[in-house]
Structure 1
């Protein structure tokens, strides 16, 4: 009996593409929901009244329906996925080409990011973003006016931490930190392979401490480690998954794990008036909850098969492009269609984002992927020539 996770000829776990696509759609829904002032105020404290009990905004904020607009939590899922899929190629028996990996990763992520900043800048110049006319505190805080060359350059500079022109780029900052320090994360995961509960406990503690101290590295980087640890333990996970799938009532266990993981992911939102330290501790478990979701989607046969097919496969393919272009579109529509009912603005924004994302993928992301392979191959050849050794057959991963 084999693992239910479907594999492409390249060895890619296709159900994880579906997970990535769903997460990108949740992030899109999250930012669309922030057009509504009460929901925006749940993220920007003091900006206005929070949702009153029984309202649509309240149901979308403080009940399990939050899962449909849990953007930051979906980013945690992205981080766990990155930790998992970037670690797996390194663990394969074949030699891993580290010399090609770093430039390929830089080109693979960097070019689409720069293109998205140019896209956001063009939209901001075409439709001025005037904060005093914003429909919500989030729109006002994300708007850039005036759009100057200096501001454009500060957004391009990764050391400035300015994401005004394209808000979701904040997560790419941590993505690149992890990409550069990948050997350290893998080494730590291998070191803690036998003591994996200790590794998960340390990740939970780090996230809680980082959140409480507003220390982004301690808050977000443990999610990548959790994914790397899962990659190291993936053989055992597959074995356990096969046994559970063989049980008559195994599906009940998978559903239970999925439900618990989903609720734990949004745990702090379900207790909005609880003692703050309790909510911080709950938030600490979010990477573990994200891992639970990923593993169920990977190992439970019906769900894994579903996520490997359309339209989830399509959403996964364009997920990075959708992530990069959707906020500039939402902001632009909020100003361009100002005065129209917010549901109309939200609907137009979603449709445009879903149209622009595949175009961006074809014109930018796909070409960046191809170029990254060429750059990686070139670096490998140059290094081999300078070191005077024959270039080996290496496993290359974007």
Structure 2
């Protein structure tokens, strides 16, 4: 019997919401591990955590690639509905992105002011010492709130929202491209993967990340075909094998580090294969019964519901605790910070994100209605 993903009346695919929630949790664990890295690196524990399949639980950068594929897929799906309005869509997208981002930066600024940070308490050269702000100015706040810079000392994860914003700007062009190549989708996805590999090898972020979004957009353009593929009977071994290959591609650069150390060209090449691995994981969430059932469970669906909020608030929470207790207390930081991040994310969702969703829907309706009226006025 084939298990197919459930869809909400709005058209949202529940298993993909669940996958987003798991990816957000993985990013949370990844950043906690970065706090512990200076004290664990070189130990047997570190080797087990970072160079074995356990790495899947803390593969934060790879989880962001999953987010990018999901964004390219889920954000574009409404484009193919009747009466779609680009003006309404893009206006609502601005509200959905900037409202929570600005609120998360305000939270971070408040925490920095309430709990002053002493960089000397962090190991030199560590993630905590090098990438976290210890003070707040109006200029830095406004610059980071714009999502224009590539570095975000007030709230590190916002670097990925910079790319989300840029892709939103080129989304009409990317959608047109996806429709143009939809009959040759597999070849187009292979080209995207190749471009992402080139971007990784030559450290060109645009080439690395944009093709990952485009993969998701091509999947959106072929969604009816993908859902039909999901329902086809397949050998029992196919999806477990497909899942294993996708996971190995996603974290292969970590598993291979004993042979190809970090920083080598071969390790970069293996990391570049995380892009097709991320796309494969998204397909697993659509097509493999055990994964669908896992992602549609209530706890995972709850994680999916608060995933964006969790992504935005967890680093300010973890960083505040790390500066308060010191990085040597990384265990205590995790014991307190992980559940506290989930709790704060829940409150942030209710107080900020859910309200921004409502505001975005109102903006969408108003802008779309005005665009239709203007179109009617200029029509011959």
Please tell me the TM-score bracket, short chain as reference.
Answer: over 0.9
Match of 1:163 among 152, 172, 183: 152
Whether 2:325 is the aligned partner of 1:337: answer yes
Paired residue for 1:373? 361
Q: Give the number of the structure whose residues are more often helix, by fraction.
A: 2
User: Matches of residues 10-89 of structure 1 in structure 2 within 5 Å?
Assistant: 10-38=10-38, 51-52=41-42, 55-89=44-78
CA distance in 1, matches of 2:224, 2:376: 37
Q: For the residues of structure 1 that align with 2:374 and 2:225, how far apart are their CA atoms?
A: 41
Given that residues 6 and 13 in structure 1 are in contact (C-alpha distance below 8 angstroms), is that contact kept between their aligned partners in structure 2? yes
Residue 269 of structure 2 is aligned to residue 284 of structure 1:
no
Cross-structure match for 2:131: 142
Which of 203, 220, 223 does residue 234 from structure 1 map onto? 223
Separation (CA, whole Å) in 2 of partners of 1:375 and 1:237: 32
Output the CA distance in 2 between the equivalents of 1:97 and 1:302: 37
Cα distance, 1:4 vs. partner? 0.5
Deviation (angstroms), 1:340: 6.8
- The answer on whether the counterparts of 1:135 and 1:334 sit within 8 Å (CA) in structure 2 is no
Equivalent position of 2:260 in the other structure = 274
User: For the Cα contact (< 8 Å) 2:147–2:161, is it kept in 1?
Assistant: no
Q: CA deviation at 1:128?
A: 1.6
Query: 8 Å contact 1:30–1:71 — kept in the other structure?
Result: yes
Q: Distance in 2 between matches of 1:339 and 1:207?
A: 35
Q: 1:116 aligns with which of 104, 109, 121?
A: 104
What is the CA-CA distance between 1:154 and the residue it aligns to?
A: 2.4
1:77 alignment partner, SS class: helix
Q: Note the C-alpha offset of 1:387.
A: 4.0
Q: Where in structure 2 are there 5+ consecutive unaligned residues?
A: none
> For the Cα contact (< 8 Å) 2:252–2:271, is it kept in 1?
yes
Is the CA contact 1:134–1:140 (under 8 Å) kept in the aligned structure 2?
yes
Task: Give the Å deviation of 1:282.
Answer: 2.0
**Structure 1 residues 262-305: Cα deviation after superposition (integer angstroms, max 9, x where no partner):** 11101111122428332222222222111111111111223213
Residue aligning to 2:310: 322
Match of 2:79 in 1: 90
The Cα shift of 1:134 comes to 1.5
Alignment match, 1:105: 93
Residue 79 of structure 1 deviates from its aligned partner by: 0.4
State the TM-score, normalized to the length of structure 2. Answer: 0.93
Aligned to 1:312: 300
Pick aligned residue for 1:130 from 114, 118, 123: 118
Distance apart, 1:102 and its partner CA: 0.7
Instruction: Judge conservation of contact 2:193–2:212 (CA < 8 Å) in 1.
Output: no
**Alpha-carbon shift at residue 360 of structure 1 (Å):** 0.1
Structure 1 residues 214-223 or 146-155, which shifts more?
146-155
SS in 1 for 2:276: helix
SS at the partner of 1:5? coil
Q: Is contact 2:35–2:327 with CA below 8 Å preserved after alignment? A: no
CA RMSD of aligned residues (A): 2.2
How far is 1:55 from its partner? 1.3
Runs of 4+ off more than 3 Å: 384-390
Is the 1:4–1:305 contact (alpha carbons within 8 Å) kept by the matching residues of 2? no
Q: Which moved more, 1:259-268 or 1:375-384?
A: 375-384
Is 1:253 the counterpart of 2:238 in the alignment?
yes
Q: Any idea what the Cα deviations from partners look like across 1:138-168, whole Å, max 9, x if unmatched?
A: 1111221232222222222333333010000
Aligned with 1:318: secondary structure? helix
Measured against aligned partners, the alpha-carbon deviations of 1:97-138 in whole angstroms (never above 9, x if no partner) come to 112001100001110000000000111111122221125711
Match in the other structure for 1:46: none
Aligned counterparts of 2:222 and 2:329: Cα–Cα separation in 1: 50
**Contact 2:96-2:360 at 8 Å conserved across structures:** yes
Tell me, yes or no, if the aligned pair for 1:120 and 1:165 is still in contact at 8 Å.
yes
Q: State the distance in 2 between where 1:161 and 1:149 align.
A: 18
Deviations 1:317-369 (A, max 9, x none): 00000000000000000012238732111111101101100100000000001
Equivalent residue, structure 2, for 1:393: none
Distance apart, 1:170 and its partner CA: 0.3
